[in-house]
């Protein structure tokens, strides 16, 4: 069996016998006015964060959701798009497709606005998405890509890039590792399937996204996810996993490198009312301006006495100046 087959087998098991709390953190799923999430769907919340960003879903986007699980986020996306096949959910595991279909039918009995045809479940996998090039506004995946070995992760990211329209968004939530995961854990296929041993470091993860062609990444949330404790996992010291919510944009990579927004700001404190770096960044005296990490570093080096840069908040919601 390959590790991907082990993962498929694992998800067949947890589709047939839900494992409450498998991947999710302790927060309850996002609730919206008039949205009722069936209990059977909540029990199959196998995501480690959220990929649904409500303030950006007002144009009824077409969403390609990879790895449907119990259908929770597909339902949340459908809440905003509300039209037939607005959400295309791709899932290789038959038992998971069946569980999601059942859960969405229950959702229709509990939500008068919802029609199960809003979510079209298709057989397929992350490496062969069954849609045309440049045909969707959003690709979303929650707690799946971390399972993939690095070269497969790159394949999946490139496949997401292929199907996105220009300017489209890849919305992801995945565990990342605060230090590299030792090989003996990486090779444990069951732990990998459980989203516990395939995670890359933040640097490796974001670099793979950029290498697939995405010119801008926004970090929406970063929080503790799981602790791999030394005795249980045969480690020299405890290893903390975090979960990272990100949005990557299918835009050209600028000549001086991709923009990654992590919540940093730049504040001008010199003698003029305005600072212009001549590269498109205007800073008003005393007023924080959202900047990407690359620009923060450049501005700090340019005028170390007159420009303060603040730390990453790991919570950035758009509107930066790059």
Binding residues (CB under 6 A) for ligand SAM: these are 4, 7-8, 11, 23, 45-47, 66-70, 72-73, 91-93, 96, 125-126, 142-144, 195
Residue 193 beta carbon to ligand SAM: minimum distance, rounded to whole angstroms = 8
Beta bridge partners of 176: 242
If the CB atoms of residues 118 and 261 are measured against ligand SAM, the closer one turns out to be: 118
Q: Which token pair is 132? A: 């045309």
Our CB check for ligand SAM shows the closer of 103 and 216 to be 103
Cβ 263 to ligand SAM, closest distance in Å? 24
According to DSSP, the residues that pair with 170 across neighbouring strands are: 139, 248
Q: CB of residue 113 vs ligand SAM: minimum separation in angstroms? A: 22
CB of 46 to ligand SAM, least distance (A): 4
Using the minimum distance from each CB to ligand SAM, give the nearer residue, 73 or 293: 73
Tokens encoding 24? 């999710």
Minimal distance, residue 218 CB to ligand SAM, in Å: 20
Classified as helix, coil or strand, 19 is coil
Between 144 and 248, name the residue whose CB sits nearer to ligand SAM: 144
Find tokens 């497969």 and name the residue. 152
Instruction: Report the residue number, 68 or 289, with the smaller CB distance to ligand SAM.
Output: 68
CB of 100 to ligand SAM, least distance (A): 8
Compute how many other C-beta atoms are within 10 angstroms of the C-beta atom of residue 222.
20
Q: Is 263 left (phi over 0), alpha (psi -120 to 50) or beta?
A: left
Angle 94-110/72-81 helices, nearest 10 degrees? 50
Rounded Cα distance between 298 and 309, Å, is 10
H-helix or E-strand spanning residue 7: helix 3-16
Q: How far is the CB of 50 from ligand SAM (least distance, A)?
A: 9
Residue given tokens 């509107």 in the structure block: 319
Query: Which one, 71 or 263, has the nearer CB to ligand SAM?
Result: 71
Three-class SS state of 261:
strand
Q: 293: exposed, middle or buried (C-beta count within 10 Å: 0-12, 13-18, 19+)?
A: buried
Between 4 and 283, CB nearer to ligand SAM: 4
């Amino acid at each position: 069996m390959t590790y991907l087959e082990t993962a498929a087998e694992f998800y067949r098991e947890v589709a047939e016998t839900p494992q409450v709390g498998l991947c999710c953190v302790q927060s309850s799923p996002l609730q919206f006015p008039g949205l009722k999430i069936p209990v059977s769907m909540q029990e199959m919340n196998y995501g480690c964060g959220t990929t649904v960003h409500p303030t950006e879903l007002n144009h009824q986007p077409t969403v390609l959701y990879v790895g449907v699980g119990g259908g929770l986020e597909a339902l949340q996306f459908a809440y905003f798009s509300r039209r037939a096949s607005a959400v295309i959910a791709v899932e290789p595991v038959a038992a998971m497709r069946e569980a999601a279909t059942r859960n969405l039918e229950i959702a229709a009995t509990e939500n008068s606005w919802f029609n199960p045809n809003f979510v079209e479940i298709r057989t397929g996998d992350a490496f062969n998405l069954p849609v045309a090039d440049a045909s969707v506004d959003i690709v979303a995946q929650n707690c799946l890509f971390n399972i993939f070995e690095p070269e497969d992760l790159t394949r999946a990211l490139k496949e997401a890039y292929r199907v996105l329209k220009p300017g489209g968004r890849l919305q992801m939530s995945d565990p990342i590792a605060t230090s590299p995961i030792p090989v003996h854990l990486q090779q444990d296929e069951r732990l990998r399937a459980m989203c516990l041993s395939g995670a890359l470091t933040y640097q490796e993860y974001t670099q793979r996204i950029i290498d697939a062609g995405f010119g801008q990444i926004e970090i929406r949330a970063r929080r503790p996810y799981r602790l791999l404790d030394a005795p249980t996992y045969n480690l020299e010291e405890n290893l903390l996993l975090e979960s990272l919510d990100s949005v990557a944009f299918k835009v050209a990579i600028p000549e001086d490198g991709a923009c990654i927004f992590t919540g940093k700001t730049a504040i001008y404190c010199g003698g003029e009312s305005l600072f212009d770096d001549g590269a498109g960044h205007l800073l008003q005296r005393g007023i924080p301006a959202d900047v990407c990490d690359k620009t923060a570093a450049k501005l700090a080096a340019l005028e170390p006495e007159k420009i303060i840069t603040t730390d990453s908040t790991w919570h950035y919601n758009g509107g930066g100046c790059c």
